[in-house]
Amino acid sequence: MADPRLTKSRFVAGWQCQKLLWWTEHEPDATELVPDKVLQDRFDQGRHVTELARLTFPGATLIPPGTDSARIEATKLALDFGAPAILEAAFAADGVFVAIDALAREGDGFALVEVKSATSAKDEHVPDVAVQAWVARQNGINVRRTEVMHLNTDFRHPDTGNLFAHTDVTAQVEEFLPRVPPLIAEFKASMAGPIPEIAIGLHCHEPRTCPFYDRCWPDDPWHISMLYRTGPKGTDTYFRQGVHSIRDLPPGQKLPAIARRQIKALETGKMIVEPTLKAALRDAMGDARVGFLDFETVNRAVPVWNALGPWRAAVVQFSYHEEAGGNKHTHLAYLAEGPHDPQAELSERMLEATKGVEKILMYTPYEHTQIKQLAERVPSMASDLKALAAKLVDMAPLLREHVYHPGFNGSFSIKDVLNPLVPDLSYNDLAIVDGMVASVEIARLLFVAHKVKDRDQLRNDLLDYCERDTWAMVRLLGRLREIAA
């Protein structure tokens, strides 16, 4: 059997996990490998960043798409013609094909540049760059230096600072290079053999969550990864101690009060309500009339509105419910339209909507952070926005510190707590059920509306999603008051 073909992305997949690599090779059509809307948006933004990075190499030759051999041949020609830089420079060695973002002449050799849409160089970039440098050197290219060209956090739209920053990774790459040939051999053998036995662990989360996560990890509320605030690193530590289930925890294990409440709820199968809930609700809101606020934001790799930096969130939508006496509530919403900066208009509408209340509930401090940033970006309304921020009360701690339902599965995200506490309400009837998807869809609606088939429908779906977030808070507060009483 011929050696399986490796590319730099497969090399990186193998570096994360050989089972992931094996599935990528043997099940290329697996549904898990089809990018979802959020990942596709990340790829699209990455492509845009690469296109802008290319403009910083004047006189460069871009190797066009085509077969591996045609691209390799075109690269040879560009080298022979003495191109100052070659973009998508293609090489192969030992069955590994790579296309280098930029190979720029420097003295008697070349700098190998890997373009990333991240805002810094990361450890995970080192094997990625190392395999490219190794293949290029096998082809006689004198790679003198390697760097990651990434977005610069200090850049502000439209033209404050440079959009790109450069981090030299030569030392780390040179240190990694001797590992490349044995890793190539290992990955090829692994791809050609039966599915490798790989235990779950930290590598399932790092450098990114594995697409096959749900195939490998158990769906078990008692699994140790479900323990409140354990996280990937904590789970890995427990695994090393032989603890895989919450039931395996040694007696006397030091745990946060919330995790202890979780275990008690799992053992009894019942919701735990601390007697402190009533006082906490009174302290948080007293007898004030309450509003409920939720934002949706867009995050663009390359910022498009004034004073924004790469990947900085900008508020573009809000939903606001307000108590109106009895069981009645009013509702107001805003969703930006068109590609212009909506933050001043949004601030004005939000200030108008919320002017009559003393307390406004948010779920997690996200809205507080965003309003503080709005105050910087819309200085004419800064004092009113700061006054609004002072009215905000985070609802999440009211649940976290005082209530645990076995259905929470160790999470206090609004989507995880809503259905266990308010069984007649969920997000399942909505077309959009996730904040990240909402963010990507809003960006489509604002910036590439011509590509959206049914704009009115998408707009309504987005309005429904954000409204559900604040309505969920209304219902959760009602339920908390009920159980506290």
Please give the backbone phi and psi of residue 160, each rounded to the nearest 5 degrees, phi first.
Answer: -90, 110
Closest by Cα among 198, 25, 169 to 95: 25
Could you give the C-alpha distances from 380 to 157, 158, 390, in angstroms and in order?
Answer: 19, 20, 18
- 118: CB partners within 8 A, 6+ apart: 150, 151
Determine, following the binding rule CB under 6 A, whether residue 402 of this chain makes contact with ligand SF4.
Answer: no
Instruction: In angstroms, give the least distance from the CB of 217 to ligand SF4.
Output: 6
Instruction: In angstroms, give the least distance from the CB of 203 to ligand SF4.
Output: 5
Per CB under 6 A, the list member of 8, 157, 203, 468 interacting with ligand SF4 is 203
* Number of residues this chain uses to bind ligand SF4 (CB under 6 A): 11
Please say which residue, 196 or 406, places its beta carbon nearer to ligand SF4: 196
Q: Which stretch binds ligand SF4 (CB under 6 A): 183-191, 212-220, 394-402, 417-425?
A: 212-220
Instruction: In angstroms, give the least distance from the CB of 30 to ligand SF4.
Output: 11
Please say which residue, 211 or 291, places its beta carbon nearer to ligand SF4: 211
Please say which residue, 18 or 370, places its beta carbon nearer to ligand SF4: 18
Please say which residue, 212 or 305, places its beta carbon nearer to ligand SF4: 212
d(CA 61, CA 89) in angstroms, rounded, equals 9
Amino acid, res. 188: K
Per CB under 6 A, the list member of 70, 161, 213, 233 interacting with ligand SF4 is 213
Instruction: In angstroms, give the least distance from the CB of 221 to ligand SF4.
Output: 19
Determine, following the binding rule CB under 6 A, whether residue 86 of this chain makes contact with ligand SF4.
Answer: no
Determine, following the binding rule CB under 6 A, whether residue 198 of this chain makes contact with ligand SF4.
Answer: yes
Instruction: In angstroms, give the least distance from the CB of 31 to ligand SF4.
Output: 15
Please say which residue, 218 or 423, places its beta carbon nearer to ligand SF4: 218
Determine, following the binding rule CB under 6 A, whether residue 223 of this chain makes contact with ligand SF4.
Answer: no
Q: Which stretch binds ligand SF4 (CB under 6 A): 116-124, 195-203, 284-292, 447-455?
A: 195-203
Closest residue to ligand SF4, Cβ-based?
Answer: 210
Please say which residue, 124 or 394, places its beta carbon nearer to ligand SF4: 124
Using only C-alpha atoms, the chain has a radius of gyration, in whole angstroms, of 26
What is the residue-wise DSSP string for 256-291? -HHHHHHHHHHHHTS-EE-TTHHHHHHHHHTT--EE
Please give the backbone phi and psi of residue 330, each rounded to the nearest 5 degrees, phi first.
Answer: -95, 160
Determine, following the binding rule CB under 6 A, whether residue 91 of this chain makes contact with ligand SF4.
Answer: no
Please give the backbone phi and psi of residue 360, each rounded to the nearest 5 degrees, phi first.
Answer: -125, 125
Closest by Cα among 427, 428, 417 to 466: 427
Per CB under 6 A, the list member of 15, 155, 187, 212 interacting with ligand SF4 is 212
Please say which residue, 13 or 438, places its beta carbon nearer to ligand SF4: 13
| Residues paired with residue 404 on neighbouring β-strands, in sequence order | 272
Determine, following the binding rule CB under 6 A, whether residue 244 of this chain makes contact with ligand SF4.
Answer: no
Please say which residue, 17 or 165, places its beta carbon nearer to ligand SF4: 17
- 392: CB partners within 8 A, 6+ apart: 293, 360, 361, 362, 365, 367, 368, 371
Residues 14-53 that bind ligand SF4 (CB under 6 A): 17, 19-20
Determine, following the binding rule CB under 6 A, whether residue 204 of this chain makes contact with ligand SF4.
Answer: yes
d(CA 402, CA 277) in angstroms, rounded, equals 5
Instruction: In angstroms, give the least distance from the CB of 211 to ligand SF4.
Output: 7
Range list of H helices, 29-119: 37-54, 68-80
- 450: CB partners within 8 A, 6+ apart: none
Determine, following the binding rule CB under 6 A, whether residue 200 of this chain makes contact with ligand SF4.
Answer: yes
Instruction: In angstroms, give the least distance from the CB of 233 to ligand SF4.
Output: 15
Please say which residue, 14 or 342, places its beta carbon nearer to ligand SF4: 14
What is the residue-wise DSSP string for 139-186? TT--EEEEEEEEE-TT-BTTTBS-SEEEEE-HHHHHHHGGGHHHHHHH
Per CB under 6 A, the list member of 53, 89, 210, 414 interacting with ligand SF4 is 210
Task: Characterize 395-428 residue by residue with b for buried, 16 or more Cβ atoms within 10 angstroms of its Cβ, and e for exposed.
Answer: bbebbbbbbbbbebbbebebeebbbbbbeebebe
Specify the residue for token string 């192969």: 92
Determine, following the binding rule CB under 6 A, whether residue 13 of this chain makes contact with ligand SF4.
Answer: no
Q: Which stretch binds ligand SF4 (CB under 6 A): 204-212, 228-236, 318-326, 369-377?
A: 204-212
Q: How many CB atoms lie within 10 A of CB 352?
A: 10
DSSP 35: -
Question: Where on the chain is the footprint of ligand SF4 (CB under 6 A)?
Answer: 17, 19-20, 198, 200, 203-204, 210, 212-213, 216
